[in-house]
């Protein structure tokens, strides 16, 4: 756990702003699952963190594909899993979670939000960390139960059955986000009624 990160990262080369006032932590895990199931870990971490935050604050935190926690339309936090695999076996995975807790508007990037900005209340990041770790621990065995993880995630997804746009490396997909697969890919029904499965990219909510 760090008070401040000077080189916080998001996906790819994106920077993760981590000033004082947030909760920035990583845990090392050695899940006994074959490597193709590793994407589940990120979704399990997202639903556990969401639940812990809702229990502790009463706020309705939602999930955005693939790795964001949001309040309303603004980004509250993100999750990153990096791993070492040998063939199909997982040597270890590092689960990193970053959450905006006490920062004011000036300490947040655009389109971001902190718990304090919504509730007006200052919180101890260590107490939230404890709640999140407890929740991860108690749901950890669900790694053997992908459908329960993905159903929970989908139930709490902010763009469930709404219009989205996903920017892929070479392509953009626009349509209704219809479902999430157990491999973590998102199913989109495009405007010309085709079903597209996207596995990477950045998602934007469309409000029309």
Binding site for ligand ADP (CB under 6 A): 10-11, 14, 16-17, 67-68, 75, 78, 100, 109, 112, 202
Q: Which residue is nearest to ligand ADP (CB)?
A: 10
Q: How far apart are CA 60 and CA 58, in angstroms?
A: 7
When the beta carbons of 35 and 202 are compared against ligand ADP, the nearer one is: 202
When the beta carbons of 83 and 202 are compared against ligand ADP, the nearer one is: 202
Q: How far is the CB of 34 from ligand ADP (least distance, A)?
A: 25
Of the candidates 144, 166, 143, the one whose C-alpha atom is nearest the C-alpha of residue 64 is: 166
Q: How far is the CB of 15 from ligand ADP (least distance, A)?
A: 6
When the beta carbons of 140 and 165 are compared against ligand ADP, the nearer one is: 165
Phi, psi for 44 (deg, rounded to 5): -60, -45
Can you tell me which residue has the tokens 């059955």? Answer: 161
When the beta carbons of 78 and 146 are compared against ligand ADP, the nearer one is: 78
Q: How far is the CB of 11 from ligand ADP (least distance, A)?
A: 3
**Which residues are CB-neighbours of 98 under 8 A, at least 6 positions away?**
5, 8, 16, 18, 22, 23, 24, 77, 78, 79
Q: How far is the CB of 96 from ligand ADP (least distance, A)?
A: 11
Residue spans of beta strands (DSSP E) within the chain: 22-29, 62-64, 68-71, 74-86, 89-100, 163-167, 172-180, 186-190, 195-198, 202-205
Q: How far is the CB of 78 from ligand ADP (least distance, A)?
A: 5
When the beta carbons of 14 and 137 are compared against ligand ADP, the nearer one is: 14
């Amino acid at each position: 756990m760090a008070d401040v990160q000077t080189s916080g990262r998001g996906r790819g080369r994106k920077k993760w702003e981590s000033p004082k006032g947030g909760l920035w932590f990583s845990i090392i895990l050695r899940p006994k699952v074959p490597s193709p199931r590793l994407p589940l870990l990120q979704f399990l971490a997202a639903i556990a963190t969401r639940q812990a935050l809702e229990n502790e604050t009463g706020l309705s935190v939602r999930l955005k594909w693939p790795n964001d926690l949001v309040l309303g339309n603004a980004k509250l936090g993100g999750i990153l899993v990096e791993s070492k695999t040998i063939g199909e076996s997982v040597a270890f995975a590092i689960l990193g979670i970053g959450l905006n807790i006490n920062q004011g508007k000036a300490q947040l990037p655009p389109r971001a939000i902190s718990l304090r900005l919504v509730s007006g209340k200052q919180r101890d990041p260590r107490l939230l960390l404890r709640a999140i770790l407890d929740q991860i621990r108690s749901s950890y065995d669900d790694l053997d139960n992908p459908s329960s993880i993905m159903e929970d995630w989908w139930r709490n997804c902010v763009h469930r059955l709404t219009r989205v746009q996903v920017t892929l490396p070479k392509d953009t997909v626009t349509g209704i986000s219809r479902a999430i697969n157990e491999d973590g890919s998102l199913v989109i029904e495009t405007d010309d009624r085709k079903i597209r499965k996207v596995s990477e990219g950045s998602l934007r909510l469309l409000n029309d």
